[in-house]
Structure 1
Amino acid sequence: MRAGTSKGLFIYRHDLPASENLWAGPLLAAMGSQNCDARQIDGVGGATSTTSKVAVVSPSARPGIDIDYTFVQVAVGQRTVDFSGNCGNICSGVGPFALQEGLVQPRPGEKTLDVRIYNTNTSRVIHETIQVDEYGSFQEDGEYTIPGVKGTGSEIKVAFVDPAGSMTGKLFPSGRRTDTIVVQERNGPRFSVKATLIDAANPFVVIDGSTLPPYLKTCAKDSIGYLEHMESIRREGAVMMGLASSTDAAAKVRGTPKLAIVSPPESKFPSANAAASVHVLAFSMGKPHPSVQLTGAACLASAAIIQDTVVNRVATTPHWQVSKTERSPSPMSDSDGSCSLVQPGRKLVRISHPSGAIEVEVTAASSKTVAVVDRCTVSRTARRLFEGKVYYYQEVVQ
Structure 2
Amino acid sequence: MRAGTSKGLFIHRHHLPASQEAWAGPLLAAMGSHGSDVRQIDGVGGATSTTSKVAVISPSTRMGVDVDYTFVQVAVGQEVVDFSGNCGNMCSGVGPFALQEGLVRAVPGDRTLDVRIFNTNTSRVIVDTVEVDEHGSFNEDGDYAIPGVKGTGSEVKVAFIDPAGSMTGTLFPTGRRSDTIRVQEKDGPSFRVTATLIDAANPFVLIDKTTLPAFLQIEPGKDTPEYLKHMESIRRAGAVLMGLAPSMEAAAKVRATPKLAILSSSSSRTKTDSIEDAGRTPDIHVQAFSMGKPHPSLQLTGAACLASAVCINGTIAHALASSSPKRMEFPEDPESQWNTPERTPSPSNSDYPSSSASSLVPSPRTVRLSHSAGSIDVDVLATCSEAFAFVDRCVVSRTARRLFEGKVYYYEDRRSGDF
What residue is the counterpart of 1:136 in the other structure? 136
Which amino acid counterpart does residue 213 of structure 1 have in structure 2?
A: P
What residue is the counterpart of 2:408 in the other structure? 390
Distance 1:389 1:61, change over 3 A: same
Which amino acid counterpart does residue 304 of structure 1 have in structure 2?
A: V
Quick check: 2:353–2:390 contact (8 Å CA) kept in 1? no
| Aligned residues between the structures | 392
What residue is the counterpart of 2:388 in the other structure? 370
What residue is the counterpart of 1:197 in the other structure? 197
- CA distance in structure 2 between the partners assigned to 1:271 and 1:59 by the alignment: 40
What residue is the counterpart of 1:351 in the other structure? 369
Deviation digits for residues 276-308 of structure 1, max 9, x if unmatched? 000000000000000000000000000001001
- CA distance in structure 2 between the partners assigned to 1:3 and 1:379 by the alignment: 11
Shift of 1:269: 5.3
Distance 1:212 1:372, change over 3 A: same
Deviation digits for residues 159-209 of structure 1, max 9, x if unmatched? 000000000000000000000000011111110000000000000000000
Do structure 1's residue 257 and structure 2's residue 258 form an aligned pair?
yes
Distance 1:180 1:332, change over 3 A: farther
- CA distance in structure 1 between the partners assigned to 2:355 and 2:116 by the alignment: 28
What residue is the counterpart of 1:21 in the other structure? 21
Which amino acid counterpart does residue 286 of structure 2 have in structure 1?
A: V
What residue is the counterpart of 1:302 in the other structure? 308
- CA distance in structure 1 between the partners assigned to 2:126 and 2:140 by the alignment: 20
Deviation digits for residues 20-76 of structure 1, max 9, x if unmatched? 110000000000001111100000000000000000000111111100000000000
Aligned to 1:274, what secondary structure does the other structure show? Answer: coil
Q: What does 1:73-152 correspond to in 2, within 5 Å?
A: 73-152=73-152
Deviation digits for residues 116-139 of structure 1, max 9, x if unmatched? 000000000001100000111100
Deviation digits for residues 341-396 of structure 1, max 9, x if unmatched? 11112100000000000000001101111100000000000000000110011116
Distance 1:248 1:203, change over 3 A: same
Aligned to 1:393, what secondary structure does the other structure show? Answer: strand
Quick check: 1:209–1:261 contact (8 Å CA) kept in 2? yes
- CA distance in structure 2 between the partners assigned to 1:388 and 1:191 by the alignment: 51
Which amino acid counterpart does residue 306 of structure 2 have in structure 1?
A: L
Which amino acid counterpart does residue 396 of structure 2 have in structure 1?
A: V
Distance 1:226 1:113, change over 3 A: same
Quick check: 1:327–1:344 contact (8 Å CA) kept in 2? no
Percent of pairs identical after alignment? 67
Shift of 1:319: 2.8
Quick check: 1:332–1:342 contact (8 Å CA) kept in 2? no
What residue is the counterpart of 1:11 in the other structure? 11
Distance 1:188 1:264, change over 3 A: same
Quick check: 1:205–1:234 contact (8 Å CA) kept in 2? yes
Which amino acid counterpart does residue 294 of structure 1 have in structure 2?
A: L
Distance 1:221 1:199, change over 3 A: farther
Which amino acid counterpart does residue 312 of structure 1 have in structure 2?
A: H
Quick check: 1:272–1:359 contact (8 Å CA) kept in 2? no
Quick check: 2:177–2:315 contact (8 Å CA) kept in 1? yes
- CA distance in structure 1 between the partners assigned to 2:331 and 2:403 by the alignment: 39
Runs (4+) of structure 1 moved beyond 4 Å?
A: 267-272, 327-333
Quick check: 1:331–1:341 contact (8 Å CA) kept in 2? no
Which amino acid counterpart does residue 238 of structure 2 have in structure 1?
A: G
What residue is the counterpart of 1:275 in the other structure? 281
Q: What does 1:197-216 correspond to in 2, within 5 Å?
A: 197-216=197-216
Shift of 1:317: 1.3
Aligned to 1:239, what secondary structure does the other structure show? Answer: helix
Distance 1:183 1:237, change over 3 A: same
Distance 1:221 1:70, change over 3 A: farther
Aligned to 2:164, what secondary structure does the other structure show? Answer: coil
Aligned to 1:363, what secondary structure does the other structure show? Answer: strand
Shift of 1:264: 1.0
**Aligned match for 1:291, one of 285, 288, 297:** 297
- CA distance in structure 1 between the partners assigned to 2:324 and 2:140 by the alignment: 37
What residue is the counterpart of 1:342 in the other structure? 360
- CA distance in structure 1 between the partners assigned to 2:131 and 2:191 by the alignment: 50
Quick check: 2:204–2:260 contact (8 Å CA) kept in 1? yes
Deviation digits for residues 195-237 of structure 1, max 9, x if unmatched? 0000000000000000000110026643011000000000000
Quick check: 2:325–2:366 contact (8 Å CA) kept in 1? no
- CA distance in structure 2 between the partners assigned to 1:272 and 1:301 by the alignment: 20
- CA distance in structure 1 between the partners assigned to 2:295 and 2:7 by the alignment: 14
- CA distance in structure 1 between the partners assigned to 2:198 and 2:393 by the alignment: 15
What residue is the counterpart of 1:336 in the other structure? none
Aligned to 1:300, what secondary structure does the other structure show? Answer: helix
Distance 1:271 1:145, change over 3 A: farther
- CA distance in structure 2 between the partners assigned to 1:23 and 1:242 by the alignment: 27
Is the deviation greater in 210-219 or in 69-78? 210-219
Aligned to 1:227, what secondary structure does the other structure show? Answer: helix
Quick check: 1:171–1:200 contact (8 Å CA) kept in 2? yes
Aligned to 1:275, what secondary structure does the other structure show? Answer: coil
Do structure 1's residue 40 and structure 2's residue 37 form an aligned pair?
no
Do structure 1's residue 380 and structure 2's residue 398 form an aligned pair?
yes
Distance 1:208 1:363, change over 3 A: same
Question: TM-score by structure 1 length?
Answer: 0.95
Aligned to 2:182, what secondary structure does the other structure show? Answer: strand
Quick check: 1:196–1:310 contact (8 Å CA) kept in 2? yes
